[in-house]
């Protein structure tokens, strides 16, 4: 390379090619080629047949049909008896060439068109009411045009809590995107199947649910990159006393995060939010009936179950049908449309939540049930014997005899 550069410089300075060849000790043809070349010289080794060459067509055929077949299995199929390391190196070289191509298009997001949804499990257990700690899901929704991030920790990944969390975040947004994009979350749906209540929820929003096919991460890359950002920018150095504490800290941090310039769109999400919201759908004017809902006949133990926890109910409703509802914060029991019991919802699992007033009422009712009833005897009670004759059909001479 240095000789090539020197030859071209000397010839450019006016030194005859014959003298350059004599001074540098090279042939005149070498000098002529250096002067007329259009690119720097490069050493290229001619390909030579190797011990792998006879097996290459069969290896390519197997990889084209079975791209994930292990190299050891391929070696057995083609009858390779040489070095397995050398064989693996060649298979590793050929595998990308035979892999099926899955192009990823550049997606263009229009204002109000779509929001990407996903669950994030922070890598830190959150303390719960019973002293235990658990990894809890965080529902994240990101409108694709503005990149404005919304998020909230929820108790479970079941359909009831997913819809409750979605409704709360959409209320914060104030509008509903025309499409909600999910990645086959079981609580939302998979393939053509929709979880119970999801179709009604989307119908009330007048929006469309999009469930992505497997192996399509690019269509939901915006929210997935935000989740990776949470773990590197939000989580380090933080501790949480409860789910409520997590939501408070996360909400405060999101206000700052949504005010930072996003590299891909060169603006802050808050600056695009108004245009994004203007093209979205209005929220339904009525309150959606979401969450945990059931109607049960209250048993003798006066407890009802929500998710995996039992909550006490006023024992005076034993034997009657009661309506049980629960959202992310409260559990309510109604009798005839009137709330007779209300508890804070517990996020721990397998807990029993008892109101002391219910225990006292149950004790009083039990004592009343176990007390013997007083029997009143009326000494004036008499009955005519003729009543018995008439009852048995005895009349006239039969009665006299």
Burial 221-241 (b: 16+ CB within 10 A, else e): ebbbebbeebeeebeeeeebe
The answer to whether residues 248 and 239 touch, using CB atoms and an 8 Å cutoff, is no
Rounded CA-CA distance 336/321 in Å is 8
Parallel, antiparallel, or unpaired: how do β-strands 352-353 and 133-134 relate? unpaired
Q: What angle do CA 176, 177, 183 make, to 5 degrees?
A: 115
pLDDT for 261 beyond 70: yes
Question: Is the pLDDT at 46 greater than 70, yes or no?
Answer: yes
3-state SS, residue 295: strand
Q: What is the pLDDT of residues 238-256, one digit of tens each?
A: 999 999 999 999 999 999 9
C-alpha dihedral sign at 329, 333, 338, 342: negative
Report the chain's C-alpha Rg in angstroms: 40
Structure-block tokens of residue 136: 């809890």
Instruction: Give the C-alpha separation, 302 to 342, whole Å.
Output: 14
**Nearest by Cα to 169 from 123, 203, 201:** 201
Lowest mean pLDDT among 92-101, 125-134, 330-339: 92-101
- Secondary structure class of 322 (helix, strand, coil): strand
Residue 211 pLDDT: 92
Instruction: Tell me the pLDDT tens digit for each residue of 28-44.
Output: 898 898 888 888 888 77
Quick: pLDDT tens for 135-149. 999 999 999 999 999
3-class DSSP state for residue 262? strand
Whether residue 382 is predicted with pLDDT greater than 70 in this model: the reply is no
Interval 63-77: pLDDT, tens: 999 989 999 999 999
Q: What is the mean pLDDT of the chain?
A: 90
The Cα-based distances of 251 to 48, 55, 123, 234 in angstroms read 64, 60, 18, 11
The Cβ of residue 84 has, within 10 Å, a number of other Cβ atoms equal to: 12
| Arithmetic mean of pLDDT, 95-110 | 82
Is the pLDDT at 385 greater than 80? The verdict is: no
């Amino acid at each position: 390379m240095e000789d090539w550069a020197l030859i071209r410089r000397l010839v450019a300075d006016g030194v005859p090619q014959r003298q350059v060849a004599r001074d540098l000790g090279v042939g005149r043809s070498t000098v002529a080629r250096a002067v007329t070349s259009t690119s720097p010289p490069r050493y290229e080794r001619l390909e030579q047949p190797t011990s792998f060459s006879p097996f290459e067509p069969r290896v390519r055929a197997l990889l084209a049909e079975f791209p994930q077949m292990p190299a050891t299995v391929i070696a057995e199929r083609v009858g390779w008896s040489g070095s397995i390391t050398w064989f693996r190196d060649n298979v590793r070289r050929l595998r990308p060439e035979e892999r099926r191509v899955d192009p990823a298009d550049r997606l263009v997001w229009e204002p109000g068109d779509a929001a990407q949804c996903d669950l994030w499990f922070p890598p830190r257990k959150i303390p719960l009411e019973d002293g235990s700690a658990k990894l809890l899901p965080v529902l994240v929704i990101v409108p694709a045009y503005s990149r404005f991030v919304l998020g909230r920790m929820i108790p479970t990944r079941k359909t009831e809590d997913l819809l409750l969390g979605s409704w709360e975040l959409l209320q914060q947004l104030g509008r509903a995107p025309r499409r909600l994009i999910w990645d086959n979350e079981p609580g939302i749906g998979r393939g053509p199947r929709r979880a119970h209540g999801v179709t009604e929820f989307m119908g009330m929003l007048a929006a469309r649910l999009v469930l992505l096919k497997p192996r399509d991460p690019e269509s939901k890359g915006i929210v997935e990159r935000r989740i990776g950002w949470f773990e590197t920018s939000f989580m380090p150095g933080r501790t949480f006393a409860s789910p409520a504490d997590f939501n408070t800290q996360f909400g405060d941090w999101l206000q700052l995060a949504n005010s930072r310039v996003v590299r891909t769109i060169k603006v802050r999400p808050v600056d695009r939010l108004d245009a994004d919201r203007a093209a979205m759908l209005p929220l339904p004017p009525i309150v959606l009936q979401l969450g945990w809902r059931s109607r049960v006949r209250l048993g003798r133990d006066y407890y009802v179950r929500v998710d995996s926890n039992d909550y006490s109910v006023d024992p005076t409703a034993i034997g009657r049908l009661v309506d049980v509802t629960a959202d992310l914060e409260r559990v309510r029991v109604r009798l005839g449309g009137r709330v007779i019991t209300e508890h804070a919802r517990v996020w721990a699992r397998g807990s029993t939540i008892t109101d002391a007033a219910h225990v006292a009422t149950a004790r009083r009712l039990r004592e009343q049930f176990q007390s013997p009833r007083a029997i009143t005897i009326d000494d004036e009670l008499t009955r005519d014997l003729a009543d018995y004759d008439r009852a048995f059909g005895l009349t006239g001479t039969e009665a006299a005899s």
